[in-house]
């Protein structure tokens, strides 16, 4: 049976969901004016999480500091994130997808894969049923999505990134020479900034160039695993299944690329605190704890270093992860070379339903866990920016914020 996969991606999700709420109240549609979601609108700190199409015309970019966006577009309307609203809308559009697809995999809060294989008798025209799904989401929920159609997850995802918004696109193997291969190599899924630069310096400028490059050469340039994966992707090859229930993560990781080089321990620790707070929040939501903490850095000359520590007891306590991360950073960063990137990875996970947790905890750790859970509850209702950690760790995050350009979070389901 030939596979048929849809990828459904919400257009400017956070901003669209906030716009729909405001339109229902009779307020101005944020999608029609220069606007963005992110950071603290009052203090104008933080980073841009989503932007409107009018804001894009001013070159406002997702991931850039709010202050930089306001310099480009002084009239930019800023909106505070509301994660409770986002979860509600995420569930609502995926419930519509489940009306038509036997298997739906949540890929992130604003995108999912639909395995439509074997539905050809019910829906003989894939494009027509994709348009039906798209239109039902728009008519019932008030926001738009793009739907990509392909024979695997990779091609479906690439197709959904074509012209936006509110569109259906196909990317079948016979369409690759026309639709995929002329695209810049950095637009291929899984090609990061550093990898794209390395490929372009080697004369590989388009996805088609990558597809035609000899595999041994790519592996010598990028490493065996990454070279093989990107060569397969460039040729439209991907056999990963659509999973009805996401498998448990093997690691949780988070990193931030810094807008300005960090040169002091104080500033680095403040950034580590925010990273630790964010990654442990996600881990606690999945009822997981980690036995291993790893800190990674990249210096101004693009040299990467990492150091890890194994714990006697698995932890999900922010304070513990932060304390160990600070210690690891001091061991890593003895030369004080300016830092361009900081990251934390939590590995060797155990889950509460696996019966591997220790039953005996000291009172101090129990209080710390209770504090973390209270903060998680408040933030799940009112957003991550509602309450910030400060006195608990004897420092405010405000100094560290100015260094942050973009945070990348990842729950890895396969070991590195």
Nearest partner of 158 among 142, 175, 133, 138, judged by Cα: 175
Half-sphere exposure of 80 (CA within 13 A, CB side): 13
Residue identified by tokens 């999900």 is 316
- Strand partners for 293: 309, 346
- Give yes or no for a contact between 102 and 124, defined as CB atoms under 8 angstroms apart: no
- The token pair at 118 is 């074997």
Q: What is d(CA 98, CA 123) in angstroms, rounded to the nearest whole number?
A: 14
Q: What is d(CA 303, CA 16) in angstroms, rounded to the nearest whole number?
A: 39
Q: What is d(CA 23, CA 275) in angstroms, rounded to the nearest whole number?
A: 34
Nearest partner of 147 among 192, 101, 78, judged by Cα: 101
Helix (H, G, I), strand (E, B) or coil at 388: coil
Helix (H, G, I), strand (E, B) or coil at 290: strand
Nearest partner of 188 among 175, 207, 174, judged by Cα: 207
- Give yes or no for a contact between 51 and 103, defined as CB atoms under 8 angstroms apart: no
Q: What is d(CA 274, CA 342) in angstroms, rounded to the nearest whole number?
A: 11
The DSSP symbol for 71 reads H
Compute the Cα dihedral for 126, 165, 133, 49 and give only its sign. positive
Q: Which of 111, 200, 247, 409 is catalytic?
A: 111
Helix (H, G, I), strand (E, B) or coil at 89: helix
Q: What is d(CA 93, CA 166) in angstroms, rounded to the nearest whole number?
A: 14
* Whether 111 is catalytic: yes
DSSP secondary structure letters along 243-279:
PSSPPPPSEEEEEEEEEEEE--HHHHHHHHHHHHHHH
Q: What is d(CA 256, CA 46) in angstroms, rounded to the nearest whole number?
A: 13
- Give yes or no for a contact between 73 and 83, defined as CB atoms under 8 angstroms apart: no
> Strand order of the sheet with strand 404-412?
304-315, 288-299, 339-351, 251-262, 404-412
Q: Which residues are tagged catalytic? A: 111
């Amino acid at each position: 049976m030939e596979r048929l996969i849809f990828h459904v991606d919400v257009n400017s999700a956070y901003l669209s969901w906030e716009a729909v709420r405001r339109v229902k109240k009779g307020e101005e549609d944020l999608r029609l004016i220069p606007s963005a979601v992110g950071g603290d609108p009052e203090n104008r700190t933080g980073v841009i999480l989503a932007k409107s199409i009018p804001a894009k015309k001013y070159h406002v970019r997702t991931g850039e500091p709010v202050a930089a966006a306001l310099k480009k577009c002084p009239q930019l309307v800023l909106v505070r994130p509301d994660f409770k609203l986002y979860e509600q809308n995420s569930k609502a559009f995926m419930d519509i997808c489940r009306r038509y697809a036997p298997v739906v995999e949540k890929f992130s809060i604003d995108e999912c894969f639909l395995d439509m294989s074997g539905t050809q008798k019910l829906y003989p025209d894939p494009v027509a049923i994709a348009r039906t799904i798209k239109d039902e989401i728009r008519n019932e929920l008030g926001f738009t999505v793009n739907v990509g159609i392909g024979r695997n997850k990779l091609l479906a995802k690439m197709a959904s990134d074509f012209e936006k918004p509110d569109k259906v696109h196909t990317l079948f193997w016979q369409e690759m020479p026309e639709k995929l291969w002329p695209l810049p190599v950095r637009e291929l899924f899984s090609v990061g900034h550093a990898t794209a630069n390395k490929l372009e310096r080697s004369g590989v400028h388009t996805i088609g160039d990558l597809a035609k490059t000899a595999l041994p050469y790519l592996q010598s340039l990028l490493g065996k695993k990454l070279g093989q994966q990107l060569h397969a992707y460039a040729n439209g090859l991907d056999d990963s299944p659509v999973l009805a229930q996401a498998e448990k993560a093997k690691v949780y990781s988070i990193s931030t690329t810094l807008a300005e080089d960090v040169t002091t321990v104080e500033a680095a620790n403040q950034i580590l605190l925010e990273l630790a707070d964010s990654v442990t929040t996600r881990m606690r939501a999945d009822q997981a704890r980690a036995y291993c903490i790893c800190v990674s850095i990249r210096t101004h000359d693009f040299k990467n270093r990492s150091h890890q520590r194994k714990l006697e007891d698995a932890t999900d306590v922010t304070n513990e992860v932060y304390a160990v991360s600070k210690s690891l950073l001091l061991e890593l960063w003895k030369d004080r070379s300016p830092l361009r990137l900081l990251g934390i990875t939590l590995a060797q996970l155990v889950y509460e339903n696996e019966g591997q947790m220790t039953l005996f905890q000291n009172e101090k750790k129990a209080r710390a866990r209770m504090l973390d859970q209270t903060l998680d509850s408040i933030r799940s209702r009112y957003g991550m920016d509602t309450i910030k950690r400060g006195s608990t760790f004897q420092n405010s995050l405000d100094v560290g914020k100015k260094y942050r350009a973009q945070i990348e979070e990842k729950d890895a389901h396969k070991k590195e």
